[in-house]
Amino acid sequence: MNFQRIELEHWHRKPYFEHYMKAGKCSYSITANINVTGLLNSLRDKKVKFYPAFIYMVSRIVNAHPEFRTAFHDGQLGCWEQMNPCYTVFHQEDQTFSALWSEYSRDFPRFYQNYVGDIERFGDKKGLWAKGKFPANTFSISSIPWVDFTSFHLNLANSDHLLPIITNGKFFSDGKETYLPVALQCHHAVCDGYHAGVFINELQKLTDSCREWLVR
């Protein structure tokens, strides 16, 4: 997959990148509650599982914005043309998990087919990396479906990890609507609060418009 090198001297984010990689090196996280009432109803009608639909929506947003595809690769700063999701699968029998990845497609039925094929082939395999070697153009999604958390933050020792990390929690209801807590972790060198807002708002829009892309 194509990796376009960023010429730092000509990059509009150069002063921000240098500040948040040196003087003010930091990542940050934001957690928001996404209304998934309509999505869950549509998934139920279509007999589609929630997790791959969530992975698809997140992947679609990541692939729509270069800020979420900017990374270091072979020591170079650049932007991937396309990112594939790396997601966790839980093993109930021993309470461990494995990480899988599936090839992204903007076409949901095709992505769903990729996901189902990977789960059928690798879903029961134990070990951290059940599918073997991962391509470099992957980003991370995890799930904590046992807790309807109000905040979630990863303390990364590797402060050069520029790609976003997305974590979803447990569904909860206010008596009328159903919500899903979603945490987004970004590196401030490549993503500002504006970009985090874009991510959260677009996730809600994709959820609300699910009948437009949820075709099987």
Active site amino acids:
188
- Do residues 207 and 199 touch, judged by C-beta distance below 8 A? no
Query: Which of left, alpha, beta for 153 (phi over 0: left; psi -120 to 50: alpha)?
Result: beta
CA angle 127-130-133, nearest 5°? Answer: 115
Name every residue whose Cβ is closer than 8 Å to that of residue 69 and which is 6 or more positions away in sequence.
62, 63, 79, 80, 81, 82, 83, 163
DSSP result, 48-104: --HHHHHHHHHHHHHHH-GGGSEEEETTEEEEES--EEEEEEEETTTTEEEEEE---
- Do residues 100 and 118 touch, judged by C-beta distance below 8 A? yes
Name every residue whose Cβ is closer than 8 Å to that of residue 107 and which is 6 or more positions away in sequence.
none
